[in-house]
């Protein structure tokens, strides 16, 4: 029999069929493969299918066959297992810095790494009601540019904005560009932040990536002192609660014993806990005392006491008094 003009596509089409339509629970029989190839205007005989499967296996694909109640051929091991894809899909869906449109596009690409049958499970995994997503569509590409700058050790410039009551962008510094030497990217509190040396303020600062606009990678080398060159991104993100700024120091806390897990979750297993009485312990942590840090303290009620330094205790009392004045004012109305 003469070879059809589409025979050269046969091996590629078989590979595509295995990738898209099969998995361990959904094999295709030889006849089903032949019928599918016929639909692509490719003639195939049973013996040639067996030869082609061996060729694909030699090439490196995990092509497997099974006999019994559900016989057929299927693709076994893939670059990602289904539980791993579910985890990645959920992470993409949960990320606030990725817009809804970009999330949907990324999830469709992740679905293509599985069979069509497994992709349905990923679609069920996707739905999470009420997730707040970023409004800045360009953040996806901004992150890519920042990685480029970090790898090339080059400074970046950008405009930085906030939103007003009408959800309009309002640029800081009257729209003047920020010049920053990037030293790391931090994913904290469901947002991406750039940690870098601000050329104008001559200090380390951090910026939310989804609030950057018109970012450009320059040809300027990194600036910063010795502390910047030895920048520890893990330590920096641990100190800044919710990435809020404030005065940094060694803060000693006295906590109830049932909060051991809470303290270790926040400050890591390296935190040194010192017993203090029957049901309390003390711990000294490096922290930036910001409103967010104080809010974390308030949230634990009488389970945590700030012991030192004195200025941290003063800030806690000042915050408490400010909140009390607010509610006393409302009661007097």
310, 304 contact by CB (below 8 A): no
Whether residue 3 lies inside any domain: the answer is no
* Peptide bond between residue 309 and the one before it cis (omega within 30 degrees of 0): yes
CA gap 325, 117 in Å, rounded: 60
Instruction: Give the pLDDT confidence score for residue 255 in this predicted structure.
Output: 92
Q: Which of 211, 231, 251 is the last residue of a domain?
A: 231
236 lies in a domain?
no
Helices (H), 65-138: 82-94, 100-111, 116-126
Q: Alpha helices, DSSP H only, in the chain?
A: 10-21, 30-39, 46-59, 82-94, 100-111, 116-126, 139-152, 226-229, 233-239, 260-267, 291-299, 310-332
CATH number at residue 30: 1.10.10.10
pLDDT of 45-77, one tens digit each?
A: 999 999 999 999 999 999 999 988 889 999 999
Q: Are residues 86 and 65 in the same domain?
A: no
How many angstroms separate the CA atoms of 232 and 219, rounded? 24
Look at residue 2 and tell me if it is in a domain: no
Assign residue 256 the CATH number of its domain: 3.30.70
- How far apart are the C-alpha atoms of 79 and 61, rounded to whole Å? 10
* Nearest Cα to Cα of residue 259 among 232, 236, 285: 285
Q: Which residue among 177, 197, 231 closes a domain?
A: 231
297 pLDDT above the threshold of 50: yes
Tell me: do 152 and 170 sit in the same domain: yes
Same domain, 108 and 149: no
Same domain, yes or no: 60 and 96? no
Position 107 in a domain: yes
Answer with the residue of higher pLDDT: 221 or 3: 221
- Assess whether 247 and 298 both reside in one domain: yes
List Cα–Cα distances, 316 to 247, 256, 276, 292, 322, in angstroms: 12, 19, 22, 11, 10
Which tens digit of pLDDT belongs to each residue from 176-202? 999 999 998 887 766 788 989 999 999
User: Considering the domain boundaries, does residue 132 fall inside one?
Assistant: no
Crossing angle of helices 291-299 and 310-332, in 10° steps, is 80
Tens digits of residue pLDDT in 304-317: 999 999 999 999 99
Q: Are residues 182 and 204 in the same domain?
A: yes
90 and 63 within one domain: no
313 is a domain residue: yes
DSSP class of residue 167 equals: S
Residue 102 banded pLDDT, cuts 50, 70, 90:
confident
Average pLDDT estimate for 162-171: 81
Take residue 280 and report the two structure tokens written for it: 């309390």
pLDDT(1) > 50: no
Quote the pLDDT of residue 327.
84
Long-range contacts of 311-319 (CB under 8 A, 24+ apart): 311/247, 311/249, 312/247, 312/249, 312/251, 315/247, 315/289, 319/291, 319/294
Number of domains composing the chain: 4
Q: Are residues 143 and 113 in the same domain?
A: no
Degrees to nearest 5, angle at CA 21 with 17 and 23: 115
Assess whether pLDDT exceeds 60 at residue 124: no
70 and 92 housed in the same domain:
no
Does the residue 157 lie in any domain?
A: yes
Distance CA 118, CA 121 (A): 5
| Percentage of residues in the chain having pLDDT higher than 70 | 89
Question: Buried b vs exposed e over 192-208: b needs ≥16 C-beta within 10 Å?
Answer: bbbbbbbeeeeebebbb
Q: Where in the sequence is the domain holding 198, given as residue range(s)?
A: 139-231
Among 186, 206, 231, identify where a domain stops: 231
Distance CA(28)–CA(65), nearest Å, equals 9
Identify whether 247 is part of a domain.
yes
């Amino acid at each position: 029999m003469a070879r059809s003009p589409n025979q050269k596509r046969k091996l590629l089409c078989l590979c595509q069929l295995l990738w898209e339509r099969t998995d361990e629970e959904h094999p295709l029989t030889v006849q089903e493969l032949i019928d599918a190839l016929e639909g692509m205007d490719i003639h195939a005989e049973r013996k040639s299918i067996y030869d082609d499967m061996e060729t694909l296996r030699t090439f490196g694909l995990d092509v497997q066959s099974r006999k019994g109640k559900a016989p057929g051929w299927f693709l076994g091991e893939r670059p990602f297992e289904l539980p791993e894809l579910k985890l990645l899909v959920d992470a993409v869906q949960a990320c606030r810095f990725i817009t809804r449109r970009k999330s949907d596009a990324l999830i469709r690409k992740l679905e293509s790494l599985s069979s069509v049958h497994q992709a349905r499970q990923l679609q069920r995994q996707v739905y999470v009601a009420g997730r707040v997503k970023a409004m800045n569509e360009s953040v996806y590409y901004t992150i890519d540019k920042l990685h480029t700058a970090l790898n090339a050790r080059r400074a970046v410039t950008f405009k930085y904005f906030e939103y007003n009551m009408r959800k309009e962008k309002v640029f800081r510094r009257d729209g003047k560009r920020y010049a920053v030497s990037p030293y790391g990217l931090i994913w904290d509190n469901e947002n991406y932040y750039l940690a870098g040396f601000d050329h104008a303020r001559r200090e380390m600062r951090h910026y939310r990536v989804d609030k950057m606009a018109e970012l450009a990678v320059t040809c300027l080398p990194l600036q910063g002192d010795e502390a910047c060159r030895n920048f520890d991104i893990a330590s920096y993100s641990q100190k800044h609660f919710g990435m809020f700024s404030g005065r940094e120091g060694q803060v000693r806390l006295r906590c109830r014993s049932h909060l051991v897990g809470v303290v270790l979750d926040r400050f890591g297993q390296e935190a040194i806990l010192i017993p203090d009485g029957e049901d309390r312990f003390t711990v000294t942590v490096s922290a930036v005392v910001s409103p967010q840090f104080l809010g974390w303290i308030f949230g634990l009620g009488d389970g945590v006491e700030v012991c030192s330094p004195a200025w941290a205790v003063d800030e806690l009392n000042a915050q408490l008094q400010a909140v009390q004045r607010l509610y006393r004012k409302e009661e007097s109305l």
